[in-house]
Chain A
Amino acid sequence: MGTRSIRGTISFLLIVITSLVFLPLSVFAESITITDDLGRSVSLEKPAERIVSLAPGLTEILFSLGLGSRIVGVTDYCNYPPEALTKTKIGGLNPNIEKILILHPDLVVGVAGRFQQENLARFERFRIPYIVVDPVSLEKIFQTVLILGKITGRSEMAAENVRHLRNRLEQIRQSSRSESPPRLLYVVDDDPLISVGKGSYLDDLIRDAGGINITGGIAKPYPLVSMEYVIRENPQVIILATDADRKLTDIQKRRWDRWSSLAAVHDKRIYKVDRDLLNRPGPRILEGLEELAGLLHPVSTSDSDR
């Protein structure tokens, strides 16, 4: 009688112990925890399946990780890739909470800034996991890709993408290194004249592309700039930020002609760039950076092509 029951008890205990040790482990293995840019830690039981994106840049990152089918809601501004246009719209700067609730998301991703506190309060109240990222520099964009990769179970792909992006960044930096970097004026809007100052990441991008931002010393991200200052600084290149179609009105085209004393006007080095490429913290930012570097260093890039 004794041995049997002892054996039975031991095997029962073994099962209990094993399950006590491994069961919680298996739960931990599936749950994912990340720390967002507000320092909050967010945990999901399993990789996010129904994602709502509150920023165009984040939408682009999610698509670049092959997560298009898992996105259930995007903002009115999300226009890239074209597939994003087919997703349910949840509003603009201030998203519509009712629409988001109807979509039953298991993850909402947004950027820091306007409406951040309102969103935090709302999503916490409705117990929807919410990640806030703050991609204000290239490095932070890479981090954002990694965070989004982890929470969706695509860590490896994210790491691979980031490695590619870093290589490309390094190449651009190498090829646009120059003894005398050209002075550049970046025009966000031309009437009144608004440019990019310290704290905007366009300022960093211009440096990465091997140029000098003439308004980089102004301690305001999007300052109203005096034309007198522009004349005095005499930019060699002027970049006009336009919509994706890169069209200018007649008035915009002629606006710079009158400042013929500027080197950029005299040398006809006024270029248009798609502001979505440069303003948007997503993977296409490297495309924008490459283009910017090409415009700043036309000779050196054609040399490297040969």
Chain B
Amino acid sequence: MLTFGRWLSILSLLAGIWVVTVLVCLLYGMEPITLSEAAQIFWAKFYSGDQASIDSSRSVILLDVRLPRVLLAGVVGGALASVGVTLQALLRNPLADPFVIGISSGTALGVVLSILTGLNLSVWGFSALPVFGFSGALLTLMFLYRLARIHGRISVQTLLLGGVILNAMLSAVIMFITYMVDANRVLGIFYWLMGNLGSLELKALGVVIIYVMIGMVALFRIARGLNLLALGEEAAVTLGLDAERTKRAAFFASALLTGAVVSVSGLISFVGIMIPHVLRTLIGPDHRLLLPASILGGGIFLMSADTLARTLIAPTEIPVGIITALCGGPFFLILLRRGRMKFSGS
């Protein structure tokens, strides 16, 4: 039973860990920065304005390189994990995640196409990539939805299998495009597809956060509906839920979140599948708690993974998608083997 006290204490604990992770990731790097130095830099930047006393390159590294990157990892990880939670409840299947059912690939295809066709416009100084990504994600989801809709009802199994197949097809299209383009650009697209969080400005991060916020608010509003849907659609309808509306909202929010984050980070696997499972095991399946907890947990995981990605073999970086798969995979397999992975609490 979820009480407000339990809700608050678990989320405060996770929020605390989230903040500590941000701090550690900000200080840790090939150029270590001490806590007091960081405090000085922040103080000089945001309060006193006195830049003279601090080392300017360290200030740039902390504020312009690491800060947007760590925050972006927090946002992307949270978004991917929350989409994972939603899709798992919706499809009543533990394997669902934006990556597995092809939404990520749909987004990536949209982005790759927009980069190659030169439609990589900037609107009011912001990159329009999230819009292209969102379109790719939404088209993919709408196609899946239509595919799985038989006699007015969604066949969950068809949707999941269709998604896996669609993912394979979309990946093939991306591979084909990569193969066909000018050899000079292959490497860039290849690295981008493996996940990269390093090149966003604080300003552009703000835009991503706006998209993500809208998606998350939409998800919070249907958290209770997700609880009911996880029991099964018939049960949910019996209990008075407008199942179709909840599903539509969930799909739309999932597409928005995936489109916004994949378009700026590339393909990062395992966050959306692993974090919800771990947290479900730890704190139970109630989505009113699981959803915000996954947002925080996904952020913590991806911030840590990205810090490893940029420090392990510095000054070279490892694409972060490799780290998440290498860290997440074995962990996931152990959970699976121990049989501790519960899908629904019912």
Within the complex, the shortest CB–CB distance from A300 to chain B, in Å, comes to 28
* CB-CB nearest in chain B for A276: B184
Interface 0/1 of A165-203, CB less than 8 Å to B: 000000000000000000000001111111001000000
Residue among B57, B66, B192 with most chain A CB within 10 A: B57
Residues of A within 8 A of B65 (CB): 227-228, 231
Residues of B within 8 A of A83 (CB): none
Let me know if B191 and A194 touch, CB within 8 A: yes
Residue of B127, B183, B188, B196 near A77 (CB, 8 A) is B183
Within the complex, the shortest CB–CB distance from A262 to chain B, in Å, comes to 9
Let me know if A249 and B120 touch, CB within 8 A: yes
Within the complex, the shortest CB–CB distance from A144 to chain B, in Å, comes to 19
Residues of A within 8 A of B60 (CB): 231, 259, 261
Asked if B34 CB lies within 8 Å of chain A CBs, one says no
Asked if A119 CB lies within 8 Å of chain B CBs, one says no
Residues of B within 8 A of A258 (CB): 64, 201
Asked if B199 CB lies within 8 Å of chain A CBs, one says yes
Residues of B within 8 A of A190 (CB): 199
* CB-CB nearest in chain A for B128: A251
In the complex the two chains form, what is the Cα distance from A249 to B118 in whole Å? 8
Residues of B within 8 A of A259 (CB): 60, 64
Known: A191-B199, A194-B187. A231 touches B57 (CB 8 A): yes
Known: A194-B191, A225-B316. A279 touches B184 (CB 8 A): yes
In the complex the two chains form, what is the Cα distance from A225 to B61 in whole Å? 14
In the complex the two chains form, what is the Cα distance from A225 to B316 in whole Å? 5
Could you say which of A13-21, A41-49, A148-156, A215-223 contacts chain B? A215-223
Known: A192-B196, A258-B64, A261-B56. A228 touches B31 (CB 8 A): yes
Let me know if B317 and A225 touch, CB within 8 A: yes
Let me know if B120 and A192 touch, CB within 8 A: no
Let me know if B316 and A228 touch, CB within 8 A: no
In the complex the two chains form, what is the Cα distance from A275 to B182 in whole Å? 12
Residues of B within 8 A of A194 (CB): 187-188, 191
Let me know if B127 and A251 touch, CB within 8 A: yes
Known: A234-B57, A275-B184. A193 touches B198 (CB 8 A): yes
Residue among B118, B120, B191 with most chain A CB within 10 A: B191
Within the complex, the shortest CB–CB distance from B166 to chain A, in Å, comes to 27
Residue among B31, B56, B61, B316 with most chain A CB within 10 A: B316
Within the complex, the shortest CB–CB distance from B32 to chain A, in Å, comes to 11
Residues of B within 8 A of A225 (CB): 315-317
Residues of A within 8 A of B64 (CB): 258-259
| Inter-chain contact total with CB atoms closer than 8 Å | 97
Asked if B2 CB lies within 8 Å of chain A CBs, one says no
Residue of A189, A228, A251 near B29 (CB, 8 A) is A228
Let me know if A224 and B30 touch, CB within 8 A: no
Residue of B30, B183, B319 near A93 (CB, 8 A) is B183
Asked if B310 CB lies within 8 Å of chain A CBs, one says yes
Asked if A303 CB lies within 8 Å of chain B CBs, one says no
Residues of B within 8 A of A220 (CB): 316
Let me know if B199 and A192 touch, CB within 8 A: yes
In the complex the two chains form, what is the Cα distance from A92 to B178 in whole Å? 13
* CB-CB nearest in chain B for A192: B196
Within the complex, the shortest CB–CB distance from A209 to chain B, in Å, comes to 20
Residues of B within 8 A of A234 (CB): 57
Asked if A160 CB lies within 8 Å of chain B CBs, one says no
Let me know if A229 and B187 touch, CB within 8 A: no
Known: A93-B183, A194-B191. A226 touches B199 (CB 8 A): no
Asked if B314 CB lies within 8 Å of chain A CBs, one says yes
Asked if B122 CB lies within 8 Å of chain A CBs, one says yes
Within the complex, the shortest CB–CB distance from A93 to chain B, in Å, comes to 7
Asked if B185 CB lies within 8 Å of chain A CBs, one says yes
Residues of A within 8 A of B201 (CB): 258
Let me know if B29 and A224 touch, CB within 8 A: no
Interface 0/1 of A249-260, CB less than 8 Å to B: 111000100110
Q: For chain B, residues 307 to 328, give those with C-beta under 8 angstroms from any C-beta of chain A.
A: 310, 314-319
Let me know if A224 and B183 touch, CB within 8 A: no
Known: A77-B183, A232-B31, A250-B122. A224 touches B191 (CB 8 A): yes
Asked if A30 CB lies within 8 Å of chain B CBs, one says no
Asked if A287 CB lies within 8 Å of chain B CBs, one says no
* CB-CB nearest in chain B for A215: B315
Let me know if A192 and B316 touch, CB within 8 A: no
Residues of B within 8 A of A279 (CB): 184
Let me know if B66 and A228 touch, CB within 8 A: yes
In the complex the two chains form, what is the Cα distance from A259 to B65 in whole Å? 9
Residues of A within 8 A of B182 (CB): 77, 243
Within the complex, the shortest CB–CB distance from B195 to chain A, in Å, comes to 10
Within the complex, the shortest CB–CB distance from B24 to chain A, in Å, comes to 16
Residues of A within 8 A of B314 (CB): 226, 228-229
* CB-CB nearest in chain A for B60: A261
Let me know if B316 and A218 touch, CB within 8 A: yes
Residues of B within 8 A of A251 (CB): 120, 122, 127
Closest 5 A/B residue pairs (Cβ): A229-B315, A189-B188, A192-B196, A223-B316, A224-B317
14 contacts between A and B (CB under 8 A): A77-B182, A92-B183, A188-B187, A191-B199, A193-B198, A215-B315, A222-B187, A224-B196, A227-B198, A228-B314, A251-B127, A255-B199, A258-B201, A275-B184
Instruction: Please give the residue numbers on chain A whose beta carbons come within 8 Å of chain B beta carbons, in ascending order.
Output: 77, 92-93, 188-194, 197, 215, 218, 220, 222-229, 231-232, 234, 241, 243, 249-251, 255, 258-259, 261, 275, 279
> In the complex, given contacts A189-B185, A232-B31, what are 19 additional A-B residue pairs having Cβ atoms less than 8 angstroms apart?
A191-B192, A192-B192, A192-B196, A194-B188, A223-B315, A223-B316, A224-B316, A226-B314, A227-B65, A227-B199, A228-B29, A228-B315, A229-B30, A231-B57, A231-B65, A232-B57, A243-B182, A251-B122, A261-B57
